[in-house]
Every structure is written in C-alpha cells, then in structure tokens.
Amino acid sequence: MKLPMNCPAALIAAALLVSPLCGCTTNPPPAPTPARAASAPASPGQRLTKAQVIEIAKPSLPLPAGEAYYVDFKDGVWNVWTSPDGSIRMGYGATVILLIQDSDGKVLGTTAYL
C-alpha cells in the first residue's frame, strides 16, 4: 500500500531512512571537560585563559563571602567582577569591574556602575 506524501507517517519514515545516510545523529557532541575549558583560551584571538585572568584579578578584586568571579571578554579586554549570581549591581553597593588587557595581562583600571 502506497502512502500519500502528506501523510505524517510517510514523512517520519522517510526522515528515519535518510538521517543515517547524511551523517545525522540524535546524540549531541560531547561537552568539553572542565580542565580543558579552563586551560585553553575561549577563542583563537585570546591569549589569556579565564583562570589566568582571575589570578591576575585576585589581588585587586577580593572575593566577598558567597560570591564568585565572573569574566567577560570583548575587544581585547577582560572584564572581571564578583557577584553571587553574575549580575551587575548599580547604585549603592555598585559592582566594581576590573579591566585587564588580554595581550599582556596589564590591569587597565576599574569601573563601577553607579
């Protein structure tokens, strides 16, 4: 018995037959291990790793209890801040962000969102 092409069962069967031929799989690629992710720069243009940037920031940006370090990379500069949830607070108790140059690890300064 021939099924019409507008039949959902026929479309599903066709997809199941074609997917192994084109290399499609249902399994996602394995996630990188945490050790490798911490030891390698996030993109080819970066020179420092997140771990190196945090080590540079620690003396200038102490870690309050209950908070963690967060980093963001943009235009050759790392932004490092501490927060309990990664958010950037404004106003009283504003988040201080340490700016670190990626090319040489130099601390460029700090900024606060007031």
- Structural domain contains residue 80: yes
Give the span between the Cα atoms of 83 and 97, in whole angstroms.
Answer: 10
- Structural domain contains residue 68: yes
82 C-beta neighbours (distance < 10 Å), count: 19
CATH number at residue 70: 3.10.450
- Structural domain contains residue 70: yes
Contact call for residues 108 and 86 (beta carbons, < 8 A): no
Q: What is the residue range of 109's domain?
A: 43-114
Tokens of 5: 């092409």
Q: Is pTM, for the whole model, over 0.85?
A: no
Structural domains counted in the chain:
1
User: For every one of its 114 residues, what pLDDT tens digit does the chain have, with 9 covering 90 and above?
Assistant: 554 555 555 555 555 554 445 454 445 545 433 333 455 555 666 789 999 999 999 999 988 888 899 999 999 999 999 888 888 888 777 788 999 999 999 999 988 866
- Structural domain contains residue 81: yes
DSSP conformation letters of 38-59: HHS-SSTT--S-HHHHHHHHTT
- Structural domain contains residue 3: no
- Structural domain contains residue 11: no
